[in-house]
Amino acid sequence: MSLRTLIYGVGPIGALIAKYALKKGYEIVGAIDIDPNKVGKDLGDVIGLEEKLGVIVTSKPEEAFKPRRPDIVFHATTSWLDKALPQLVLAIKNRVNVISTCETLSYPYYRYPHIAELLDNYAKSHGVTVLGTGINPGFLLDTLPAILTLPHIRVDKITAIRSIDAGKRRKSFQKKIGLGLEPNTFMEKLSRGELTAHVGYAESVLLMASMLNVELTKVEEKQEPVIAEEEARTEYFEIKQGTVKGIKGYGIGYIGGKEFIRIEFHAIVGANEYEEIRIEGEPSITWRSTGTQGDMGTAAVIVNLAPRVVEEEPGLKTMADLVKASYIHA
């Protein structure tokens, strides 16, 4: 499918999305970023291609939409929907669909119910579709386990765990999980919002529940640092003994007093990489992968779903609107 696309946020993820968009034969008609090191440069140079693309990265979003209207914006600037809102509103105002890696947009009704309602109405009135997705949240710990329930007649509990070697991830990821920080500094920065670590535990739980048509009575999430027992280093950070070498976190969805959904994300330097999904019920099955590369996976999810988003009915969507295959909770 031929698509005109605009890259909004040319960080590591936006850059990979741009590369994959070209591989899929999509056209890139604009690129927006605020980083002075990227603004004014050809997108091909910014994302490390050997050829120029004839698209100059601009910090003036209004201008990027003008020359040729894109069919869809590939949005990758922030984890927080309130921060992303003006960027999304601008795309919608220009009658352009949006697919975004913004974690809190993957299930926006949890943290930002009012913004979600506003966005849905605004998107509908402008005839465009908005979707937040990615690898996690968006696929591995929500959509995938929901699909895997299809061959079950009864489900009592779903546990989904993703473990990654944080040392193999991009610098911005290693920074946001606080590698090399003193544990106290980590906790302070996390509580002040200066560090995000992983965003989206509750979103994954609620997204999965909405796919299964299950009403949860309570959702909780928590994450904490994992402390290095010996020195380690990554390409970007030195990790002294007693400092942070990763994070472990979880999200739980309860029905009554019982855990029905449990998701865990472990991002630790040197950890084994895998996803494991356990479905207890009739029958009980455990699925295990050899690990999914998150950055590549995120960019692939975005470009693969782009044509579906363009064709989808207008409004604010979640993966539950696009993927409909699971067991029936009765």
Ligand X SMILES: NC(=O)c1ccc[n+]([C@@H]2O[C@H](COP(=O)([O-])OP(=O)(O)OC[C@H]3O[C@@H](n4cnc5c(N)ncnc54)[C@H](OP(=O)(O)O)[C@@H]3O)[C@@H](O)[C@H]2O)c1
Residue ranges binding ligand X (CB under 6 A): 9-14, 32-35, 76-79, 87, 101, 103, 134-138, 170, 172, 298
Torsion angles phi and psi, residue 283, rounded to 5: -85, 180
Give the nearer residue to ligand X in terms of CB position, either 3 or 16. 16
109 neighbors 301 (Cβ within 8 angstroms): no
The distance from CA 216 to its chain's CA centroid, rounded to whole angstroms, is 22
Give the nearer residue to ligand X in terms of CB position, either 101 or 159. 101
Rounded to whole angstroms, the Cα distance separating 182 from 298 reads 30
**C-alpha radius of gyration, the chain, whole number:** 20
Give the nearer residue to ligand X in terms of CB position, either 155 or 167. 167
**Cis peptide leading into residue 151 (ω within 30°):** no
- We find the least distance from the C-beta atom of residue 160 to ligand X, in angstroms, to be 14
- We find the least distance from the C-beta atom of residue 140 to ligand X, in angstroms, to be 8
216 neighbors 257 (Cβ within 8 angstroms): no
- We find the least distance from the C-beta atom of residue 84 to ligand X, in angstroms, to be 8
Question: Which regions of 256-307 does DSSP assign to beta strands (E)?
Answer: 258-268, 274-282, 285-288
Q: Do β-strands 244-255 and 258-268 pair in parallel, antiparallel, or remain unpaired?
A: antiparallel
- We find the least distance from the C-beta atom of residue 36 to ligand X, in angstroms, to be 8
Give the nearer residue to ligand X in terms of CB position, either 57 or 310. 57
- We find the least distance from the C-beta atom of residue 176 to ligand X, in angstroms, to be 7
Rounded to whole angstroms, the Cα distance separating 81 from 111 reads 9
- We find the least distance from the C-beta atom of residue 162 to ligand X, in angstroms, to be 10
- We find the least distance from the C-beta atom of residue 41 to ligand X, in angstroms, to be 12
Rounded to whole angstroms, the Cα distance separating 71 from 151 reads 37
Give the nearer residue to ligand X in terms of CB position, either 154 or 171. 171
Give the nearer residue to ligand X in terms of CB position, either 14 or 315. 14
**DSSP, res 173:** H
Give the nearer residue to ligand X in terms of CB position, either 126 or 171. 171
Nearest CA-CA partner of 167 in 264, 71, 261, 233 = 233
The residue at minimum Cβ distance from ligand X is: 11
